[in-house]
A and B are shown apart, each in its own frame.
Chain A
Amino acid sequence: METIIKKRLCIALVLTACVMSSLAQDAGDILKKMDEVMFSPEDMTGRMKVVMTDKNEKQEIREATILQKGTEMRLFRFTSPPSQAGIAVLSLPDDVMYLYLPAYARERRIATSAKNQNFAGTDFSYDDMESKSYYSKYTPILLNTDNDFHVIELTPKAVSDYSRIVVKINIKEFYPESMEFYDRANNKIKTAKYTFQKIGNYWNASDVLMTNLRTGRKTNMQMSDIRYDTGLTDEDFTIRKLKQ
């Protein structure tokens, strides 16, 4: 009798392990597909408008042009408000970042700890703005699948502002529909709602609404004039271009 129980227990454990492994694999595959949807273009140019609305409905607007190549080269240049117009941020591989301040007429290498702060005073962290694949940064677990969405929980592989992120992924097109961000004490601190549009062969997050649940402030990031695969080269992401 004891032997039978042991055998059944073993079988149950093996089956559980298989199911878990299969779920993890599924989650990994789903996340990889989401990465493919989000990061497959060779390069991208466009304009970005960020509207921040506080709980009193007071709005602030930031506008920038954006150039991106692959997942590690990016050039932001603010065009509005006037106090920030002309300020540019160049991000390169290996966490190399430069800031160009027109008032000082020089580029400045900036500490990577700048990523600890919010991006341009918005509710997006530098981490949120990064184009690195989610699969490389997070360990996924599939929480649920229904007719419309996969729900995946992401746990950061390295030190992060977040303890976990719960992502709802469109079951058909594999782009994220929403994300919930939890702090290290496991409190839900931010939510993001995505609107994707197909431009040519690629899906583009044309509108992202980030709500900061602590402050009640909302940051709406809208992309326009998006063009993919225009043939940007590494030379478009140099200090020479940063200063132009």
Chain B
Amino acid sequence: MIMKRKYLLIIILVTVSDIINGQDIEENRLKISGELIADERFLIGDKQDWAWNENRFTLKFDRRITGKSKFNSEIWVRNSGLPDIIGSSDLFNKGIVDPFSMEIREANVQIYEFLTRNLDIKIGRQRIAWGTADKINPTDNLNPFDLEDILDFGRHRGSDAITASYYLNSDFFLQGVYIPYFQPANMPVGLFANALAPVTDLPEGLTLKSISDTLLMPRFNIRESSSAGVRIKGYTKGIDVSLSYVWGYDGLPVSTRNTFIPVDLTGGIDINSRLSFIRTHILGADFATSISGAGFWGEAALYVPDKKVIMTNDLSALYPLSPAPVIVDATIVDKPYVKFILGGDYNFRDGSYVNIQYLHGFFHERGKENLNDYFFIRYEKKFLNEKLMIAPVGGAFIVSNWKKVKDNSTIVYVPQISYKATDDIEISLSLAVFSGKGDNMFSSFNDYDMFMFLMKYNF
């Protein structure tokens, strides 16, 4: 909240100072632009429940302060979610009747040629987007994931950070990033709130009654809560390449201790979980090129946990007569593992476009044995002077076990049609159909086939 106020104050100061100064030079004027999004989704099944409601008003303030410095910000003001009214007293609370939120996605100042001709710096809340793949980037690990809308899985929040980019020559640059405190990922909401919840396998005869947890955040000091990254990126022999290293955290917590507590005589139990964030070293590499007109890209990230991650299950309370504590350990991650993505795209002369990607290891998967395979495809074609876009083929095929593909795979089908009513208003209709089995996140969405409406207005 204090941070929000701080950034709001900066934005207001820049706006006011601009009005007072009455800058006549167009280049240096405060530029206000933005977007209005109406995003509505409902389930196709019998109940036709609303799955998503979001009216997002994005405001962007940009100002070139001097020829070599720039201010940039983005604010979301939203009515999102559905009224969660339980009692009549909730009707007195406007925040419940009409859920509202505001967040500062970015607010930063960039200074070019800082101290030396080759150095640019960026200070403040910012998105540090690494990687060459389309929306899904295993090497993009500095900003926390914004998983609120699980179907928009490439989305990240901005981090309060300082970034320095040193340009070695016109083809290569070295970038260093420092993020002073750790911000975890925010979890999915609404229908998909449990999408990332771990499946708890209980011993036979036990029934889970409730789960409670305690989340251990890293201590907020420089040593424990900081993250940092460095990368070198450039262009050589027709290929864009980069190598990176991140000293950060896995933004999703893991359960490191579960205490099982019996609550009745019929085998009912409560579980108290202790959750922690894993300090992780991530070595990344990516490339992008174009061969015979087609674009190709790839990314790989080696995740090295700082220490072996073990989940301790304390069953002592279930066996009160046992002379020693009954502890069962399960290894979550003990060895480094690699996630990677390969992809390509092509624009055809008839205005159609195809994009294919293969991913090994989704953002929430950890450990070599737990990484699933994802095949993404999208084919779209534009008509009517590019006003109408139809994407009859779009979606993913996910395999969690190649030995039994039939029982361990999911198909996600997302066709889309969109129309530009004017240069700045676009209306889009799409479907999301999930069909699958097995241990992958999307197979748990089987009951959530939905129709999606999106209107976007830019100003």
Contact = CB atoms under 8 A, between A and B. Distances in A.
Q: Which among A82, A95, A104 has the greatest number of chain B C-beta atoms within 10 A?
A: A82
Given A81-B424, A105-B127, A112 B293 contact: yes
B351 A117 contact: yes
Given A111-B290, A116-B293, A83 B70 contact: no
Interface residues of B, number: 41
A54 interface: yes
20 contacts: A54-B385, A82-B33, A82-B424, A82-B459, A94-B238, A96-B238, A96-B290, A105-B126, A106-B131, A109-B290, A111-B290, A113-B348, A116-B347, A116-B348, A117-B347, A118-B386, A161-B349, A215-B385, A238-B167, A244-B70
Contacts of B348: 113, 116
Contacts of B235: 96
Contacts of A111: 290, 293-295, 345-347
Contacts of A114: 347
B357 interface: no
A106 B456 CA distance: 21
A224 to B, nearest CB: 14
A61 B422 CA distance: 11
A81 B288 CA distance: 29
Interface string A82-120: 110100000000111100000011101111111111100
B221 interface: no
A231 interface: no
10 closest A-B pairs by CB: A111-B295, A113-B293, A83-B458, A106-B129, A109-B288, A81-B423, A82-B458, A113-B347, A105-B127, A121-B386
Given A81-B458, A113-B348, 13 more contacts: A81-B424, A82-B459, A83-B426, A85-B33, A95-B290, A97-B290, A105-B126, A106-B129, A112-B295, A113-B347, A161-B349, A238-B167, A238-B170
A164 interface: no
A217 interface: yes
Nearest to A58: B422
A198 interface: no
A104 B386 CA distance: 22
A214 B110 CA distance: 47
A240 interface: yes
Interface string B279-323: 000000000111001110100000000000000000000000000
Nearest to A95: B290
Nearest to A109: B288
B240 interface: yes
B373 interface: no
A221 to B, nearest CB: 16
Contacts of A109: 132, 240, 288-290, 295, 297
Contacts of B346: 111, 113
A234 B351 CA distance: 32
A60 interface: yes
Contacts of B385: 52, 54, 121, 215, 217
Interface in A204-244: 215, 217, 234-235, 238-240, 244
A82 to B, nearest CB: 4
Contacts of A85: 33, 458
A235 B33 CA distance: 29
Nearest to A59: B423
Nearest to B240: A109
B255 interface: no
A240 B459 contact: no
B165 interface: yes
Contacts of B131: 106
Given A116-B347, A235-B170, A240-B167, A83 B293 contact: no
A116 B349 contact: yes
B352 to A, nearest CB: 9
A94 B237 CA distance: 10
A239 B288 CA distance: 14
B120 interface: yes
B173 interface: yes
A108 B355 CA distance: 14
A30 B268 CA distance: 92
B427 to A, nearest CB: 13
A83 to B, nearest CB: 4
Nearest to A240: B167
Interface in B18-48: 33
Given A83-B426, A105-B129, A244-B70, A113 B294 contact: yes
Contacts of A240: 120, 165, 167, 173
Contacts of B120: 240
Interface in B204-242: 235, 238, 240
A121 B376 CA distance: 27
B445 interface: no
Nearest to B106: A105
A106 B386 CA distance: 24
A190 to B, nearest CB: 14
B423 A83 contact: yes
B52 interface: no
B112 interface: yes
A137 B235 CA distance: 27
Q: Which among B165, B167, B170, B458 has the greatest number of chain A C-beta atoms within 10 A?
A: B170
Q: Which among B112, B165, B290 has the greatest number of chain A C-beta atoms within 10 A?
A: B290
Contacts of A95: 290
Nearest to B126: A105
Contacts of B167: 238, 240
Nearest to B289: A109
Nearest to B345: A111
Interface in B316-351: 345-349, 351
A244 B167 CA distance: 14
Nearest to B64: A244
A108 B426 CA distance: 23
